[in-house]
A and B are shown apart, each in its own frame.
Chain A
Amino acid sequence: MVYGIREFNERVGEGAGEPFLDADNGEELMHVQPGVSIVLGNRPPESPGTLYISTKKVVWLSDVDREKGYAVDFLSLSLHAVSRDPEAYPSPCIYAQIETGADEGESEDSDSESNGVVELSKTTEMRLVPSDPSQLDALFEVFCECAELNPEPIEEEDREEHNWIFSASQMEDEVAEDEDSDWHLSQNSTNSIGQSNGDHDLARTVLELQINDQRFEDAEEMEHHTDSAHQ
Chain B
Amino acid sequence: MLFFSYFKELVGREVTVELKNDLAIRGTLHSVDQYLNIKLENTRVVDQEKYPHMMSVRNCFIRGSVVRYVQLPPEGVDVELLHDATRREARGG
Contact = CB atoms under 8 A, between A and B. Distances in A.
Given A148-B35, A151-B35, A88 B61 contact: no
A85 B48 CA distance: 14
Interface of A: 77-85, 87-89, 95, 97, 99, 124-125, 140, 143-144, 147-148, 151-152
Given A80-B60, A87-B56, 16 more contacts: A77-B63, A78-B19, A79-B61, A79-B66, A81-B43, A82-B58, A82-B59, A83-B56, A85-B56, A87-B55, A88-B52, A88-B53, A97-B23, A124-B21, A147-B37, A152-B65
Contact of B61 (A87, A124, A143): A143
Contacts of A125: 53
A144 B52 contact: no
Contact of B21 (A77, A80, A97): A97
Nearest to B57: A81
Nearest to A145: B61
- Which of B21, B60, B62 has the largest count of A CB atoms less than 10 A from its CB? B60
B47 interface: no
B56 A89 contact: yes
Interface SS of chain A: helix, strand, loop or mixed? mixed
A126 B63 CA distance: 16
A162 to B, nearest CB: 22
B31 to A, nearest CB: 9
A83 B43 CA distance: 11
A85 B51 CA distance: 14
A55 to B, nearest CB: 15
Interface of B: 19, 21, 23, 33, 35, 37, 39, 43, 52-66
Given A97-B21, A152-B35, A140 B61 contact: yes
* Shortest Cβ-Cβ A-B pairs, 7 listed: A85-B56, A88-B56, A81-B60, A81-B57, A78-B66, A151-B35, A83-B56
A81 B59 CA distance: 6
Nearest to B38: A79
A163 to B, nearest CB: 24
Nearest to B39: A144
A71 B19 CA distance: 23
B61 A144 contact: yes
Nearest to B56: A85
A85 B58 CA distance: 9
B60 A79 contact: yes
Contacts of B54: 81, 88, 95
A79 B19 contact: yes
A88 B57 CA distance: 9
A95 B61 CA distance: 10
Contacts of B58: 81-82, 84
A85 to B, nearest CB: 3
Contacts of B65: 151-152
Contacts of B64: 151-152
